[in-house]
Amino acid sequence: MGVATATFVESFKARDWRHFDLQLLLYVLLLIGFGVAMGYSAGYNDASAGGGMTQTVKTMMWAAIGLILFFVVASVDYHWLRTLAAPIYLVVLGLLVLTMLIGTNLFGAQMSVTVAGIDFQFSEVSKVLMITVLAAYLAGRRDRVGRLSTILVAGALMAVPTLLVFRQPDLGTALVFVGILAGMLFMSGASLGWMGLLAAGVIGALPVAVSMLQDYQRQRLFCFLDPFADPQGACFQLVQALDAVGSGGWLGRGLTVGGEGQRGYIPVQSTDFIFTVVAEDLGFAGGVVLLALFGLLLWRILLVGWQARDAFGMMIAVGLASMLLIQVMVNVGMVIGIMPVTGIPLPFVTYGGSSLISLLFGMGILQSIRMRAHKPTL
Amino acid sequence: MADLNDGRIDLHRARSRFIAFSITAAVLLLALAGRLFQLQVVNGEVYAGRVAAVRTVEVPVPAPRGLIFDRAGRPVAVSVPSWTVQVRPADLPDPARRRVLSRLAELVGVEPSLLESRLDAFSGSPFDLVPVARGVERQAALLIGEEAGDLPGIVVEVEPIRQYLDETGAPGGQLLSHVLGYMGPVSREELEGLQADGYLRDDVIGKSGVEASFEDELRGTYGSQLVERDAAGRLLEVVETIREPEAGTNLMLTIDADMQRLATQALTWGMDVADVSQGVTVVMNPQTGEILAMVSLPAYDSNQFAAGITADEFGVYLTDPNKPLRNHAISDIYPPGSTYKLVTGIAAMEEGVTTAGRQWPTYGCYQIPGAAEGECLYDWNRAGFGPLAMVDAFAKSSDTFFYQMAVATGIDPLAAWARHLGFGETSGIRLPSEEPGIIASTEWARQQGRSGVFTGEVAQAGIGQNVIAVTPLQVLNAYAAVANGGDLMRPMIVRGETDTTGELIREYEPEVIHAIPADPGTLETMRIGAREVITSGHAYNISELDLPGALSGKTGTAEFGELNPGGTLPFHSWFVAYLPSAAGATDAELAIVTFNYSAVVPGNVSAEVVKYFLQLYYDLDQDLRLDPNDFSLVTAN
């Protein structure tokens, strides 16, 4: 096809970069900066984490790699992803099966694969890749989008990786997959009636999924209903998190200061519970600023989707928006006791190379969509 | 650019859904902010107050467990510090896991795979501490502490563990294993009943022996402290001591560790030469009921349990057919054989069946009354002894004499006298898992769905066979009661309480269970008979020992199980003896029983063991030990 070659060459044309969304990049950089500061504060009082420095340096290194990837991906025409949708899907399944087979054990779950001393959590990049796969499928079903078969096939495409991560068991990522599916189906224009019916089915199946969990996971999951039922046991983490968040007040206790107090009791505070650090150190003001940043970022992403040249681009944008929204909701929600406790990273803020690089990869695709939106085709 | 047309957006529908999506996102983010406002601004001060309070926690302070000494004041169970390495999986980052565990294994001196497997085997919350190595050397513990910065998620705790010592003061958990028992982690079932008494989830508790039966005394009372902890849960400072722990009571055993060693040495020798797999020797002071030595072989090593026994090691003990974890002296019951003729003799005289002087004919085979002609029970001496009275019949151990006594006395009076002598009931020694034994009676037969005990069984009960099963301790205690003039004593295993140096500060009183309701003359007749056993040569050359008294006793051979290919039954061998100053006197201060399970030798190996023990204990120059495999010894019963 001559088209693909032409697009590839066009990718590097300078005029694309005039449409580069600076705001989108700005919010992303601010969020990463937020994460670096919070990670530093979280590690500050923990000697075993190297006084916070090691982690901070690592985060900056991952961010640098991620940003290079971001610009490279932005410069490439995102339609390549549509051409390659089928192989990408196979790669996703391969990565997740690989994780299951040779993954290292973390907290009793096989979630990552160690290569050359570096841990890769393939479930992170799988989320972004699955968005492109679903976008390719849904974009191709524009004229039959109202049919039940569209929803069923999209659901089946998503079900395989969802079950694979659920088996790890990585409850959080499974939840994000389901959220992405729901968001993208909704935005694709799928029949609301059928979607509602299927949603009811999924909710009905929840007790089965819950029964497949290990005891401690189940206990943690339901802590949010009554965290003080078992404050020293399964809900220890949540109770400590609530105390830490609550003690932040209006303006917080100051960076690195909070760590001397309550928050020190919270395990994995630099990862899944990073929001406690924000809330305790920077208080309500800091929390709201962070939420506002996510709001602004979501606005820019939805704008990219709205202005996208084609359905494929739009679907990718709303997929990424869905992913970010559900991760923010579940992660922040669990820390403040309105969501069950599951392991979901707070996008850009949670410490972790796999998550950060995958997100910047996704943001690169967004820029690519954005930069090609104003071509005279629509 | 034809491919782009099919991807054209349906603007109308997309607009409404974009609006809906945006509103949903905004509402959700605002909900988060609202909840945050409620937590931080509205209730902020409540949480801030909680935070200050939560940093101090009340923690229990374990009380030092009571020490245990032998009757000479030698420490035999002490507490020593031990280091336990624990891992909190949530604090052990996965990338560092392999490095941390292999460094840890190097410091502790085990294979990394062992630590891995213990960590993987744990299925609880990742925030729990998982013990991966117990009984770690002090040096290793210090090194782990120094490298704490490079070993995230690793916590070393010092906890006292039990160490069991032998008579020399060296670590040795075999010598007194069945007396002292061992400690183990409290089980979930045990904890349910004990939580109110202050037991903790990771507590240890006495599982066997004196450790278990004197758990309440030894444990003491845990105290509690308010402590301030840092973020990692490390203790910063003790804010306030709410209650001081009260140390457990220190105990002195009635056991003499030296004598225990000699009894073990003698029994081990006997079991070795006779190829016996299970044996018991118990030594007692008949005047007080104090147990001076209690050996049950094979033994186990109490110290193995102290450091945390592995499933493999425990499995070896559990599957051993000789049941090393059981104290055969009190927890297993065996037919007493001829030693039981003491009961039959006393019962017959007290029930008026016979007098000390009345002679009875004896036979090569005793015709069972009421049974078909020729259905008879053999004497061990197929020639018979001619007419015998009680003392000679006891000394020669005539089976047919005692068949007649038993049948004439009747099974229920016989059973009643057995109980008077302490059979059929637990002695009440303060050790766990004591068995009462089986004494045939009409009621016993009815419980088995029979109308009564057959006459043949009554006769056999008279010589301690078939329908009688007792513990070695019961045999010893019955002879001790006769030896002291008729008081059945409660066997004692703990003599009293001591200070931490082993000085006795409170002595437990000996306790008489009851006086045997027999005429003193009856008991004297039996004592004279027991002396005759020795002097008549029935127990071989043991009478030649230069002992400081008139050794008296009784042999026993108890058949059990199934016929050998040669047509004979396997048998246990018994010997029970005591040492008064003169024949018939009631001042004996030493009584001993030895039991050998399935001794397939012609002689009485138990008599040889007792002989060897007496030679060792009285430090005699003589060595009169015989080889129990010698067929010239076959006459003994």
Q: Which residues of B136-153 are buried (b: 16+ CB within 10 A; e: fewer)?
A: beeebbebbeeeeeebbb
Identify the pLDDT of residue A51: 45
Model pLDDT, residue A50: 47
Minimum mean pLDDT among B2-16, B250-264, B523-537: which range?
A: B2-16
Q: CB burial class (10 A; 0-12, 13-18, 19+) of residue B563?
A: exposed
CB proximity B430 to A under 8 Å:
no
Is the pLDDT score of B631 beyond 90?
A: no
- H-run or E-run covering A317: helix A311-335
Contact B286, B589 (CB under 8 A): yes
Lowest mean pLDDT among A172-176, A310-314, B55-59, B273-277: B55-59
Q: Which segments of chain B belong to CATH 3.40.710.10?
A: 257-310+327-633
Question: What angle, 0 to 180 degrees and rounded to 10, lies between the N-to-C axes of helices A274-307 and B11-37?
Answer: 160
Query: Which residues 165-184 of A have a C-beta within 8 angstroms of B?
Result: 183
Computed over every residue of chain A, the mean pLDDT equals 80
Q: Which residues of A touch B21 (CB under 8 A)?
A: 183, 186-187, 302, 318, 321
Cα separations (Å) of B532 from A133, B350, B477, B528? 102, 21, 20, 6
In a domain, residue A206? The reply is: yes
Per the listing, tokens 């002992």 go with B547
Of A193-197, A261-265, B160-164, B268-272, which range is least confident? Answer: A261-265
Instruction: Write out pLDDT tens, residues A136-164.
Output: 999 888 778 778 888 899 999 999 999 98
Other C-beta atoms closer than 10 Å to the C-beta of B544 total: 12
Which residues in chain B touch residue A107, judged by CB atoms under 8 angstroms apart?
Answer: 89-90, 126
- The pLDDT confidence band at residue A372, using thresholds 50, 70 and 90, is confident
Q: Which of B59, B390, B98, B386 is nearest to B243 (CA)?
A: B59
Average pLDDT over residues A357-378: 82
Residue A4 within any structural domain of the chain? no
**A306 and B14 in contact by Cβ < 8 A?**
yes
Q: Which pLDDT score, from 0 to 100, does residue B237 have? A: 67
How many helices (H) and strands (E) in chain A? 14, 3
pLDDT of residue B432: 94
Place of tokens 């007649």: B404
Under the banding of pLDDT at 50, 70 and 90, the label for residue A128 is very high
What pLDDT shows up at residue A109?
55
Q: Which of B29-38, B106-115, B446-455 has the lowest mean pLDDT?
A: B106-115
Q: Is pLDDT at A263 greater than 70 in this prediction? A: no
Q: What is the per-residue pLDDT across A286-299, written as a single tens digit (0 to 9) for each? A: 999 999 999 999 99
Give 3-state DSSP helix, strand, coil % of chain A, rounded to 5.
Answer: 75, 5, 25
Q: Which residues of A fall within a CB distance of 8 Å from B8?
A: 142, 310-311, 378
| Among A219, A257, A258, residue whose Cα is nearest residue A236 | A219
Residue pLDDT, tens place only, B311-338: 788 888 989 999 999 999 999 999 999 9
Tokens of B293: 């030595």
Cα-based angle A88, A64, B150 (whole degrees, multiple of 5): 100
DSSP A263: G
Note whether B18 contacts A306, CB cutoff 8 Å: yes
B234 inside 8 A of chain A by CB: no
Residue A370 has pLDDT above 80, yes or no: yes
B110 forms beta bridges with none
Query: Comparing B252-256, B300-304, B625-629, which segment has the lowest mean pLDDT?
Result: B625-629
Contact A264 B1 (CB under 8 A): no
Highest mean pLDDT: which of B119-123, B134-138, B494-498? Answer: B494-498
CA distance A342 to A238: 11
Which is more confident, B81 or A135? A135
- Detail the DSSP E strand segments found in B285-382: 291-297, 365-367, 376-378
For B379: left if phi > 0, alpha if psi spans -120 to 50, otherwise beta; the answer is: beta
Q: How far apart are CA B317 and CA A204, in angstroms?
A: 52
Q: How far does the CA of residue B200 sit from the closest CA of chain A (Å)?
A: 14
Asked whether the beta carbons of residue B40 and residue A237 sit closer than 8 angstroms, the reply is no
Mean pLDDT of the region A210-226: 69
Note whether residue A11 is domain-resident: no
B427 within 8 A of B291, measured Cβ to Cβ:
no
Mutate to test the interface with B, among A112, A262, A301, A307 (most CBs of B within 10 A): A262
Contacts of residue B363, Cβ cutoff 8 Å, sequence gap at least 6:
B376, B379, B384, B400
Query: What are the start and end residues of each CATH 3.90.1310.10 domain in chain B?
Result: 81-161
Cross-chain residue pair A310–B36, CB shorter than 8 Å: no
Task: Indicate if the pLDDT at residue A217 is higher than 70.
Answer: no
| Residue B5 banded pLDDT, cuts 50, 70, 90 | very low
Tell whether the model's pLDDT for residue B147 goes beyond 70.
Answer: yes
Query: What is the token pair recorded at A356?
Result: 């950060």
CB A123 within 8 A of CB A173: yes
pLDDT of residue B2: 35
Q: Which residue, among A141, A173, A142, has the nearest Cα to A158 in the 3D structure?
A: A173
If you average pLDDT over residues B508-512, what whole number do you get? 96
Whether the CB-CB separation of B617 and B262 falls below 8 Å is answered with yes
- Residues in chain B within 8 Å Cβ distance of A233: 125
- B229: how many CB neighbours lie within 10 A of its CB? 17
| Contact check, Cβ <8 Å, A329/B232 | no
Distance between CA A332 and CA A96 in Å, rounded?
A: 26
Give CA separation, A369 vs A28, A306, B472, B611, in Å: 17, 11, 92, 102
B367 pLDDT exceeds 70?
A: yes
What integer is the mean pLDDT of A181-186? 92
User: What is the token pair recorded at B5?
Assistant: 């047309």
* Residues 91-110 (B) with a CB less than 8 A from some CB of A: 91, 94-95, 97
Q: Is the pLDDT of residue A262 over 80?
A: no
Average pLDDT over residues B338-366: 95
For the four alpha carbons of B347, B350, B351 and B355, in that order, the dihedral sign comes to positive
Interchain pair B21, A302: CB under 8 A: yes
> What's the number of CA atoms in the CB half-sphere (13 Å) around residue A265?
23
State residue B634 phi and psi, 5-degree precision. Answer: -70, -15
Residues 10-69 of B with CB under 8 A from A: 10, 13-14, 17-18, 20-22, 25-26, 28-29, 31-33, 35-37, 39-41, 43-48, 50-51, 54-55
Superfamily name with CATH number, domain B257-310+327-633: DD-peptidase/beta-lactamase superfamily (3.40.710.10)
Q: Are B627 and B609 in contact (CB under 8 A)?
A: no
Q: State how many domains chain A has.
A: 1
Provide the pairing of β-strand B591-596 with B279-284.
Answer: antiparallel
B334 DSSP 8-state letter: B
Residue linked to tokens 């068995």:
B435
Kindly state the average pLDDT of the residues A249-275: 63
Residue listed under structure tokens 């193995």:
B304
DSSP symbol at B462: T
Residue B343 has pLDDT above 50, yes or no: yes
Predicted TM-score (pTM) above 0.90: no
Instruction: Say if residue A256's pLDDT is above 70.
Output: no
Contact A235, A335 (CB under 8 A): no
Of the candidates A343, A357, A265, A270, the one whose C-alpha atom is nearest the C-alpha of residue A55 is A270
Q: What is the DSSP letter of B412?
A: H
Over residues B233-259, the mean pLDDT reads 84
| pLDDT score for A257 | 58
Residue B235: the pLDDT is: 56
Secondary structure letter of residue A351 according to DSSP: S
Per-residue pLDDT, averaged over A65-79, amounts to: 92
pLDDT over 70 for what percent of chain A? 77
Q: Flag whether pLDDT at A25 surpasses 80.
A: yes
For residues A209 and B184, which has the higher predicted lDDT (pLDDT)? B184
Determine the pLDDT at residue B160.
Answer: 82
Among A190-204, B292-306, B441-455, which is the least confidently predicted range? A190-204
**pLDDT(B1) > 70:** no
Q: Which A positions 252-281 lie with beta carbon below 8 A of chain B?
A: 259-265, 267-268, 279
Q: Which domain holds residue A49?
A: 21-371
A-chain residues near B31 (CB < 8 A): 338
Give B76-117 pLDDT, tens digit per residue: 999 888 888 888 776 777 677 888 888 888 888 888 888 888
Q: How far is CA B339 from CA B363, B461, B491, in A?
A: 20, 12, 19
Mean predicted confidence (pLDDT) in A84-99: 91
What CATH code would you report for B81-161?
Answer: 3.90.1310.10
Distance between CA B462 and CA B397 in Å, rounded?
Answer: 12
Residue B298 has φ and ψ, to the nearest 5°, of: -70, 150
Q: Which pLDDT score, from 0 to 100, does residue B608 have?
A: 94
Model confidence band, residue B48 (pLDDT cutoffs 50, 70, 90): low
The pLDDT, as a whole number, for residue B127 is 61
Interface test with B, best of A180, A265, A372 (most B CBs within 10 A): A265
Per-residue pLDDT tens over the stretch A324-343: 999 999 999 888 888 877 77
pLDDT at B6: 44
Taking the C-alpha atoms of residue A264 and residue A273, their distance in angstroms, rounded to an integer, is: 11
Q: Which two tokens stand for residue B162?
A: 């039990």
Mean residue pLDDT across chain B: 87
d(CA A340, CA A226): 11
Answer whether A228 touches B (CB < 8 Å). Answer: no
